[in-house]
Amino acid sequence: MMKKDDFMREAIAISIDNVKNGGGPFGAVIVKDNEIIARGANRVTASNDPTAHAEVSAIREAAKKLGTFNLSGCEIYTSCEPCPMCLGAIYWSRLDKIYYANNKVDAKNIGFDDSFIYDELELKPSERHLPSESLLRTEAIKAFEMWDKKADKIEY
């Protein structure tokens, strides 16, 4: 039977292999019932997709394999503490637990500094570096009102 360290070593191996093959230094695996059901490597530059982080890639594969967006009952092992986007994806997919090896300071030390995003989240939208402006809320709220009243919606 595999142990936590075995799963983490697999995530680390994916990250090392990915660097050797031109990708970023990040890897992840998702485990259910003591079995790896999905693997992910950082493919941002290889796919020109800024969301193709290892954790997101693994979540996509696990959801497809299990046929559900709800990954409760699963855990993720990732070679580095998740960035804000990946952390959000992990929460939205309802994974039970996160295990990580390198931390966000280790990532910052090699040029992957996400602290500015955490700092931005604390600011009012009008004070953020990326300008944002609300438009047509009274028109857009109709979809929310419809959703709220929808009897047969699938909650997520």
Q: Is the pLDDT of residue 156 over 90?
A: no
| pLDDT tens per residue, range 27-63 | 999 999 999 999 999 999 999 999 999 999 999 999 9
DSSP helix/strand/coil, 8: helix
Q: Is the pLDDT of residue 25 over 90?
A: yes
Q: Is the pLDDT of residue 7 over 90?
A: yes
* Percentage of the chain lying above the pLDDT 70 cut: 100
Domains, the chain:
2-131 (3.40.140.10)
The Cα 6–Cα 29 span in angstroms is 11
Task: Please give the positions annotated as active site.
Answer: 55
The Cα 88–Cα 145 span in angstroms is 25
Tell me what pLDDT residue 2 has. 85
The Cα 73–Cα 96 span in angstroms is 6
Please list the residues that pair with 38 across neighbouring strands. Answer: 30
The DSSP result for 90-141, as a single string, is HHHHT-SEEEEEE-HHHHHHTT---HHHHHHHTS-GGGSSS------HHHHH
| pLDDT tens per residue, range 119-145 | 999 999 889 999 888 899 999 999 999
